[in-house]
Each structure stands twice: as C-alpha cells, then as structure tokens.
Amino acid sequence: MSNVKLAVIYYSSSGTNYQLSKWAEEGAKEVGAEVKVLKVPETAPQSAIESNPIWKKHVEATKDVPEVSLDDLEWADAIIFSVPTRFGNVPSQMQSFLDTTGGLWFSGKLANKVVSAMSSAQNSHGGQEATILSLYTTMFHWGAIVAAPGYTDPVIFKAGGNPYGTSVTVDQDGKMKEDVEAAVKHQAKRTVSIAEMVKGK
C-alpha cells in the first residue's frame, strides 16, 4: 500500500485535461495513493465562457470539483499537472495559480515534491512539449523532482511517444485523437512510485 499523497491539478475549458486528470487519479489509486483532483480557479470573464457552448457546458459539469489551494500543495508528496497549451505555454489560469506559490517556495515547502505534467492541443505539433517543459521550468525553481515518463513503458509509444509527459491531440469537436488512457495511468503510477522512493517507505 502506498503512503503517497498525490494532487492532480488541472485547467480545462473543454474537458480534455479534466479527463486526463481523472485517468491519472485512477492509475494512482490502483497503486494505493491518496489522490485529490483539483482545478485551478477560472480567471476568464463570464462573458467569454457564456459565448462558447462547450466551455460553458464543461464549467457547469465540473462545478463541484474543488479548487486548488496552497494548502493542497503543502499536503501533497507528488503533483501531476494537466493543462492545454496556449501558444506553447501554460494557460494564464494555471500561471496565475503558480504565481501565488512564492511564499511556500521561499519557506522551502515545495522542495522535493515529485512532479509530472500532461498537455493537449488541437494539432499534433501544437506546443504540447513546449508547454510541459515550460511548466517544468517552474518546478526546477521549486526544487521539485521531475518524474517524466521517458520511454519506460510501451504504452508511451502507442500514445504518441512524448517522453516529457502524456500529450494528446484534440479535434474541433473536443474528441481526443490518440488513445492515451494507458499512458496517463502509467505516468501516474510512475510518479507515485518515485514519490515513494523520495519519501522512503
């Protein structure tokens, strides 16, 4: 039984990264981790959400998902982030949350957290890798330990072969083009396993 506490922190406007987060939760629970799935606060104006039926529907469907707090970061041994790409970078909603972590960073409370990340975009070369790597830059400043999946399991190749973290292409209707469920679950299990080593069972 794992003694790892995992926070899966996501931003999603259409539901893709929420689904990735739920698969990560399933994978981590399969190896006994205690898991919280948490969303970052929405900073877009309500008018923007109202003007997009898919976005509006997703916001309504996930209204009961708790928003992440700094206490959740302190609680977690491991963190998996899931975000869509925005011009090769993390969405402003996620960046706004990360920008509030300075106090925890300053007091050393983010050091040695085991972290991993996933991403999505509408094109297969739409910036997923750059988004994950830009997020990891923040993690290096935290002193966190990045648990990238690399090529540690054949499921990674089947999902498109991103060694930095699972990434997926999403069509105009919001449907995932690649089958990434197994890769997400492997990444979550690997993150938990490395966190166990760091904690010392």
Residue 19's pLDDT band, with cuts at 50, 70 and 90, is: very high
Residues sharing a CB contact under 8 Å with residue 171, sequence separation 6 or more, in sequence order: 122, 177
Instruction: List, in sequence order, every beta strand (DSSP E) within 142-181.
Output: 145-146, 167-169
Interhelix angle 16-30/181-199, nearest 10 degrees: 50
User: How big is the CA angle at 104 (ends 199 and 192), to the nearest 5 degrees?
Assistant: 30
9: helix, strand or coil: strand
DSSP state of 78: E
pLDDT, tens digit, 9 for 90 and up, residues 123-154: 988 999 999 999 999 999 999 999 999 999 99
pLDDT over threshold 80, residue 95: yes
pLDDT over threshold 70, residue 93: yes
Q: Provide the domain limits for residue 189.
A: 5-199
Specify the range with the lowest mean pLDDT, choosing from 48-57, 60-69, 181-190: 48-57
Domains in the chain, number: 1
pLDDT of residue 201: 59
Q: What is the CATH number of the domain that holds 36?
A: 3.40.50.360
119: helix, strand or coil: strand
HEC readout, 28-69: HHHCCCEEEEEECCCCCCHHHHHCCHHHHHHHHHCCCCCECC
Mean pLDDT (the chain) is 95
